[in-house]
């Protein structure tokens, strides 16, 4: 949510930002907010005038009572009662106006950073840099589900019978590799100075609307029936929610945290759920990182955060590239975002394995996350980034380490988490 004072003083900038996101249907919202804001400020002014009048009359009542003029004081008391009734009506209207303004402001996208490329959708995202040399072996690499099944590591049929499409069983060495990746990512981030955290896996609706747009919420979140609770789609939600309604001390900033959680997503939309495979699924596990910091430091942290993901993947010898998200591909609360994509030697192209975003003060305004200043308090900036999200990233890991004999070489950094095992091999029937 942007600052209403900024919108009031810069409506043309806000409208241009909306146009650059190709959301012209939202342009009338700016004028609606301005109109409501004028009416709201008039209501607040009327409330202030009524309160001042009541205060003066109350003082007058006190003086009249001291002078023994009870009848005159009684008349003024009746006038005060009328003012109290008007104030009650004014406060009800004030609250309704605030709610109406907030509902509209929640729909107006955050102001994008000036460096964000203008484009309608993800097809116009811009490659920034490649890390590592993509390789294509001289032998065929099977589809990732076939590799995992050949290693007795994936059972989709049983998962469909138990839960439907979009779920899976990982077993044996593949399940262990999955856990090894998460453990390595956890330790990697702890070594970077981040505090490890395991957060709640469910959050209340006021946290959901604080961390994401209504469109994202509808497409992603699972609601718990009969409860004001949602399953998290990423631990960023509950991690940022941890600071809801807090006034933070400058000396404690920045908060740098890395969190593990299972994640649950509807995955509604054109992309759908994969019938075979573990690329787009309803349930997965993830290591996340979040930062809550001073506004002037947020873009320094932004560059650090995505570079950590690149470093992590390169430590497993997986080629990656960074892709700047264009305006039309940015979620409404994001000011700037970069995707990290891993190389798929089977598909001969890159695919998304992580995303880093700076939301500036959009989330903190919704959630009331402030920093205590010398003169006045101000809103913190929040950022989030995927450290690693298996089982999707396992696709990149097994393809880039797949051998001609059907085995998968375990990257050296993961071997201590795998009991020293160097390869996962097809178990031949005797």
pLDDT in 10s for each residue of the chain, 430 residues: 899 999 999 999 999 999 999 999 999 999 999 999 999 999 999 999 999 888 888 888 878 777 778 778 788 888 888 889 899 999 999 999 999 999 999 999 999 999 999 999 999 999 999 999 999 999 999 999 999 999 999 999 999 999 998 899 999 999 999 999 999 999 999 999 999 999 999 999 999 999 988 777 878 899 999 999 999 999 999 999 999 999 999 999 999 999 999 999 987 654 556 667 888 889 999 999 999 999 999 999 999 999 999 999 999 999 999 999 999 999 999 999 999 999 999 999 999 999 999 999 999 999 999 999 999 999 999 999 999 998 889 999 999 999 999 999 999 999 999 999 999 998 765 4
- If asked whether residues 98 and 133 sit together in one domain, one would say no
10 lies in which domain range?
4-105
Same domain, 343 and 391: yes
Residues 6+ apart with CB under 8 A from 192: 308
- Same domain, yes or no: 168 and 89: no
Q: Which of residues 80, 105, 130 is at a domain's end?
A: 105
Q: What is the CATH number of the domain that holds 78?
A: 1.10.287.40
Tell whether 62 and 130 lie within a shared domain.
Answer: no
Residue 116, in any domain of the structure: no
Please count the helices (runs of H) and the strands (runs of E) in the chain.
13, 18
What's the CA gap between 367 and 210, in Å, rounded? Answer: 5
Q: Which contacts of 246-250 are long-range, i.e. CB under 8 A and separated by 24 or more positions?
A: 246/368, 246/369, 246/370, 247/370, 247/371, 247/372, 247/377, 248/292, 248/369, 248/370, 248/371, 248/372, 248/380, 249/371, 249/372, 250/294, 250/371, 250/372, 250/373
∠385-386-392 over CA atoms, to 5°? 160
Q: Name the domain count of the chain.
A: 2
Asked whether residue 212 falls in the same domain as residue 358, the answer is yes
Tokens, residue 399: 């393809």
Residues 101 and 127 in one domain: no
Query: Residue 117 domain-assigned?
Result: no
* Residue 110 lies inside a defined structural domain of this protein: no
């Amino acid at each position: 949510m942007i600052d209403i004072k900024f919108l009031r003083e810069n409506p043309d900038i806000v409208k241009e930002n909306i146009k650059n996101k190709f959301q012209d249907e939202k342009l009338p919202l700016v004028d609606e907010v301005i109109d409501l804001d004028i009416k709201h400020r008039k209501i607040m002014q009327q409330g202030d005038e009524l309160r001042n009048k009541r205060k003066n009359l109350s003082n007058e009542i006190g003086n009249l009572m001291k002078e023994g003029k009870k009848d005159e004081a009684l008349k003024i008391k009746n006038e005060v009662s009328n003012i109290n009734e008007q104030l009650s009506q004014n406060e009800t209207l004030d609250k309704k106006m605030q709610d109406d303004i907030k509902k509209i402001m929640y729909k107006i996208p955050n102001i994008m950073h000036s460096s964000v490329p203008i484009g309608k959708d993800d097809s116009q995202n811009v490659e920034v840099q490649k890390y590592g040399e993509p390789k294509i072996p001289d032998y065929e690499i099977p589809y990732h589900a076939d590799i995992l099944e050949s290693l007795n590591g994936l059972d989709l049929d049983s998962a469909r019978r138990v839960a439907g499409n979009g779920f899976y069983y990982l077993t044996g060495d593949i399940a262990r590799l999955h856990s090894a990746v998460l453990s390595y990512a956890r330790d990697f981030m702890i070594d970077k100075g981040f505090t490890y955290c395991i957060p709640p896996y469910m959050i209340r609706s006021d946290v959901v609307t604080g961390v994401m747009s209504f469109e994202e919420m509808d497409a992603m979140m699972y609601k718990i029936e009969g409860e004001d609770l949602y399953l998290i789609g990423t631990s960023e939600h509950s991690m940022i929610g941890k600071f809801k309604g807090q006034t933070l001390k400058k000396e404690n900033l920045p908060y740098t945290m890395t969190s593990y959680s299972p994640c649950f997503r509807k995955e509604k939309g054109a992309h759908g759920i994969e019938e075979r495979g573990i690329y787009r699924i309803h349930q997965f596990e993830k290591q996340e990182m979040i930062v809550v910091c001073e506004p002037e430091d947020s873009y320094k942290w932004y560059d650090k955060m995505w570079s950590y993901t690149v470093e992590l993947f390169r430590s497993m010898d997986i080629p990656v590239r960074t892709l700047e998200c264009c305006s039309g591909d940015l979620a409404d609360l994001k000011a700037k975002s970069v995707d990290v994509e891993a190389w798929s030697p089977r598909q001969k192209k890159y695919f998304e394995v992580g995303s880093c975003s700076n939301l500036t003060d959009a989330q903190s305004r919704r959630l009331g996350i402030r920093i205590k200043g010398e003169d006045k308090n101000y809103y913190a900036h929040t950022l989030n980034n995927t450290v690693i999200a298996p089982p999707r990233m396992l696709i990149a890991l097994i393809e880039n380490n797949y051998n001609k004999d059907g085995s998968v070489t375990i990257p050296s950094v993961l071997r201590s988490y795998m009991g020293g095992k160097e390869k996962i091999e097809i178990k031949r029937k005797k």
